[in-house]
Structure 1
Amino acid sequence: MFYGGISGLIPLSRVCYVFFIVFIVVVTLTGFLKALAVVMPHDVQRNIFYYVKIILVVSVGSSIGIVALYREKQALFISPMPVKSIQKIHLTMRTDFRLLPKGNLSGQGTVHFCEDATGKRISARGVINLIVSDSLSQLHSFAGQGSSLVVEGSLLPCKHDGGDDLSVPTFYVQRVIQANTPKGLEYMRFVIRKTLWESFRNQVWAGFAIALLLGVRDDLDQEVSLLFHRAGSAHVLALSGMHIGIIAAFLAFLLRRPLGVRPSSVVSLIVLFLYVNLVGFQPSLIRSLIMYMLLMFCFFKGISTSFISVIALSFLIQLFLDPLGMASLSAILSYSALVGIVLLGPPILNVLKGWVPLPLAGALATSLGAFTVTAPLVTAYFGVLYPIGILAGSILGLIVSLFMLGSILFLVFFSFLPMISALIGVVLAYIYKFQLIMLRKFADYSFEIKQVHWSLVVIFSIAMTALFVYGHYRGKEKRTISSFT
């Protein structure tokens, strides 16, 4: 319901009608089955109510989708005056500024006031994107999430026109009139980010470490960024569940023995929440945090559940909390990749066993599972695929994980034991050089798949899925027969 509405497949005016029809059907069916429960055999009751529960879950999911859809519509910028007359905007930043390839800064903010050329100011609301070409060093050093800005420029024309358009408008900033640093907790967050940034300054691998730990690629070598793209592994640089998993594993290793399982899990959750707040509440990180909380709750309550159920519940919770973020491509790719890993990873691993060493087989299964599901989306949005990313992502993921752990240890010892920190820095420099060698090798053997329609890639993905699932069950059957014999 949510993605149908934001993509235009379901007109907003008809979403409620669809929902009410589904709701009436569910209520009628539930009441009818409840009335028949007295005369139905127990087995028939159990089978029917299983499907009733599925229908109820779909109805709840649709309800959340509709609520999220209308919440997103209300969060969009509503111009209080003719769009062409807007010259100044007063806003508060919702995100930190990011450096674009062309040298501009980009971010997202919540609008408070709009002004025209005569100085007339009218209050406004909603979220807009910013592209800034002025005062770059000032904004980079003193502004970020929570900063209040007064900027001058113009709204860029929307790609789609119409009453149901849910795209976030973009304001091109030609001049920054006023920029205030964040206040309160946001200021503390800003200071911590700058402190961490400065801790890596003198290292040759500083830009890469900052990109992995804070998600800021401003100091990342352009050659490294380009090599990751050519190797089909740009997703390794994006903050995701992998980074949360590494930090969670590191915390569990440090805290579980002195504190015990339950206290260490609570402390880990608090630290992970503070980390996500530090780097910014990005969709992939929010997803990982919600899933960590759900899994921890199920573990301590003794609730048996499947991983795919946790993913689904996490999706609905995040959709309700942050519909604007869930409409982004990063959120769609994050959930799609995870579903591919969970559903296709085990069948692929089963097929690769015996042909590939087990550690590499596990990494390949994870990479190929994510690639198979996300390939249609990547093709539809970017128009290009890098198949080398299946192999490169699995190997580079292991190297990046090791490098990230080393970077965390470097920070831990930086202030207390500088000598150990310097030694770790030397090791990280060698890991960084080795990674560059691997990146260049993968980039040399890389090739692009261009001008392929996304529907063909969908067919390819379905065929690949069927092939691996068939291989998985055929392998299980063979092993069962041989064991029986």
Structure 2
Amino acid sequence: MLFPLFCIVALYLAQIDAKVMQYPLAAGMLLGTITLVQLRILPADSHRSLILFFVLLYLPYCILGWAVGKNEVSFGFPVQRISFLEGTLVEDSLLTRSNKQVLRLSLDAAQSKEGNRCSARGVTSALLSVDEVLVASSKVRLKGSYAKDQALFFADDVQVLNLTYLGLLRRSVLEHLERRIRAVTDDPQVQSLISMLVLGQTTESSFLLKDLSLAAGCAHTLALSGMHLQFFLLVSTSFASLLFGRFRGKRVGTLLPFLYVVLAGPKPSLVRALGMHFFSLLSLNRATGKVQAFLATFMVQLVLFPSALSSFACLFSYAAYGLLVTGTILPKFAGRNTILAVLGTAPASLLLVGSWNPMGLVFSYPVTGLINLAMALSVFSLLSVPGCIMILSWIYHLLLKILSLSSLLMLTFSLGGYLVYFVVVLTCVVAIGYAGRALQDRRRAHDELEIRLRFPLGNQNLAPDGDLVDDQEIWAELPLVQSGP
């Protein structure tokens, strides 16, 4: 159960200082030495588990270090001389408040101001003024220059060099769905809500709701994540179970969520949620099934989509869900999942914006419920189910009221506040665990191994020696047997 924590710590280390993850030989020698010492101390029957423990620690470290190297930006020329970039989009472009598109580009080559070409590698971000959304897998050529801090490439012009067949198909379907959204409603606010929840696309009308949700600590409810994928999983597996049975239905029902992830694009949180569901179907051990699915998804996603490591969405997704998986060994208490999710994602907020807001603990429940309802109504509205648009409009304005109220109660904490929160949560968990253990020991001492025998009421009769006893009546239904002649 501690392996998800190791993965979370490794992800944070990769974000804080990527060089820590680039010493596989030194890490292997250190872990190997510790393992060999433990093999000499521990009994022989535990050697297999110890070796497996070493592999499950060292293998994710190596894969994470490899992914860090794939994301690190490097050029054949100094960055100041770079004026052209060529690469492939790893995600769909995102609209900004200034009506520009943010691109995340996997670099292939670069060109200097003098026209000299050089090799390039890594994942970089670019800002471009363009009206349409550029879909993932597009190979583009950008003209511009890097900012002084070399964190962002300001592009003046773009040229799409190539687009795969899947990219063309996705763009065609997305354009069709956008026209469909405009056809079912004229309200730009409702249009923006449907686009965010179904397509993961941002419009000009989306920023009001996004800003309020960010201030309330509920920004994760609007971004496409495992919560949204669960809707398609629930609908698909429920329908497939009616047709093929429960066992086959869970596997056949994965098809619709898979197609949805292909349509929405390889967003880190969606890929993580789909991978977790897929590997959970293959797990044979119920006790450790979630941990196995978490580790397998973590390693497979980094191998197939190493560019996800440079996205904070990946860090938020794994930090939140990793603590939820680890939290299954903790005692149950009210709000456990939300408290643990905030505990895991607060450091990511500190890295991203320098502060974190604990008010998400209070407002996540009503906002999440409304978002889940809005997600279902958004899909039904695209299918022309009557009344959905009107209810979506009510939900949108209700969300505005709740998030506006939460923004008035916004609390901003730094690293010191997070440490206090961590100590309080740890203390409460220990106290709840101790109280539960004490109650269990008390019941065990009182009830003798917690086994209670309750007999049905009987009739008191006189025994031959004159004492009162209870005659327990036991009724058995036996087949009628016809006696012979």
TM-score (norm 2): 0.79
**Residue deviations 1:240-272 (CA, integer Å, cap 9, x gap):** 111111211121222211222233223322222
Structure 2 residue 68 is the aligned partner of structure 1 residue 72: yes
Cα distance in 2, alignment partners of residues 367 and 29 from structure 1: 37
Structure 2 residue 242 is the aligned partner of structure 1 residue 257: yes
5 Å-filtered alignment, 1:370-389, equals: 370-389=341-360
> What residue is the counterpart of 1:409 in the other structure?
380
Which ranges of structure 1 fall in alignment gaps of 5 or more residues?
37-43, 160-168, 353-363, 415-420
Distance 1:247 1:187, change over 3 A: same
Residue identity matched to 1:430: W
1:330 positional shift: 2.1
Distance 1:323 1:57, change over 3 A: farther
Tell me the percent identity: 20
1:366 positional shift: 2.6
Secondary structure (helix, strand or coil) at the match of 2:386 reads: helix
Structure 2 residue 277 is the aligned partner of structure 1 residue 295: no
Larger Rg: 2
1:296 positional shift: 0.9
Cα distance in 2, alignment partners of residues 2 and 15 from structure 1: 15
> What residue is the counterpart of 2:172 in the other structure?
191
Distance 1:130 1:23, change over 3 A: same
1:239 positional shift: 1.5
> What residue is the counterpart of 2:223 in the other structure?
238
Cα distance in 2, alignment partners of residues 66 and 230 from structure 1: 37
Cα distance in 2, alignment partners of residues 88 and 155 from structure 1: 10
1:186 positional shift: 1.2
Relative to structure 2, which stretch is displaced further, 377-386 or 274-283?
377-386
1:236 positional shift: 0.8
> What residue is the counterpart of 1:280 in the other structure?
265
Which of 424, 435, 443 in structure 2 is aligned with 1:474? Answer: 435
Contact 1:151–1:173 under 8 Å retained in 2: yes
1:382 positional shift: 1.9
Structure 2 residue 207 is the aligned partner of structure 1 residue 225: no
Residue identity matched to 1:156: A
Secondary structure (helix, strand or coil) at the match of 1:386 reads: coil
Secondary structure (helix, strand or coil) at the match of 2:99 reads: coil
Secondary structure (helix, strand or coil) at the match of 1:449 reads: coil
> What residue is the counterpart of 1:19 in the other structure?
28
Distance 1:266 1:219, change over 3 A: farther
> What residue is the counterpart of 2:406 in the other structure?
442
Cα distance in 1, alignment partners of residues 324 and 398 from structure 2: 27
Secondary structure (helix, strand or coil) at the match of 1:112 reads: strand
Residue identity matched to 1:222: F
1:145 positional shift: 1.4
1:112 positional shift: 3.3
Cα distance in 2, alignment partners of residues 425 and 475 from structure 1: 48
> What residue is the counterpart of 2:456 in the other structure?
none
Contact 1:86–1:114 under 8 Å retained in 2: yes
1:114 positional shift: 2.3
5 Å-filtered alignment, 1:62-461, equals: 62-132=58-128, 134=129, 136-137=130-131, 139-140=132-133, 143-158=134-149, 170-176=152-158, 178-179=159-160, 182-201=163-182, 202-204=185-187, 205-298=190-283, 301=284, 304-344=287-327, 349-350=332-333, 352=334, 364-411=335-382, 413-414=383-384, 421-444=385-408, 446-450=409-413, 452=414, 454-461=415-422
Contact 2:81–2:112 under 8 Å retained in 1: yes
Contact 2:24–2:61 under 8 Å retained in 1: no
1:190 positional shift: 1.1
Distance 1:465 1:321, change over 3 A: farther
Residue identity matched to 2:194: A
Structure 2 residue 423 is the aligned partner of structure 1 residue 462: yes
**Residue deviations 1:433-462 (CA, integer Å, cap 9, x gap):** 332232233333x12224x3x255134213
**Residue deviations 1:157-207 (CA, integer Å, cap 9, x gap):** 446xxxxxxxxx53210223x235733111001111122222212343110
Cα distance in 2, alignment partners of residues 348 and 304 from structure 1: 16
Secondary structure (helix, strand or coil) at the match of 2:266 reads: coil
Distance 1:304 1:344, change over 3 A: closer
Cα distance in 1, alignment partners of residues 18 and 163 from structure 2: 40
Contact 1:344–1:465 under 8 Å retained in 2: no
Q: CA RMSD in A?
A: 3.1
Cα distance in 2, alignment partners of residues 113 and 347 from structure 1: 50
Residue identity matched to 1:227: L
Relative to structure 2, which stretch is displaced further, 233-242 or 376-385?
376-385
> What residue is the counterpart of 1:163 in the other structure?
none
1:54 positional shift: 4.0
1:3 positional shift: 5.3
Cα distance in 1, alignment partners of residues 71 and 18 from structure 2: 21
Residue identity matched to 2:294: I
TM-score (norm 1): 0.79
Distance 1:13 1:405, change over 3 A: closer
**Residue deviations 1:25-47 (CA, integer Å, cap 9, x gap):** 535765x58xx9xxxxxxx544x
Secondary structure (helix, strand or coil) at the match of 1:109 reads: strand
Contact 2:237–2:252 under 8 Å retained in 1: no
Cα distance in 2, alignment partners of residues 430 and 54 from structure 1: 56
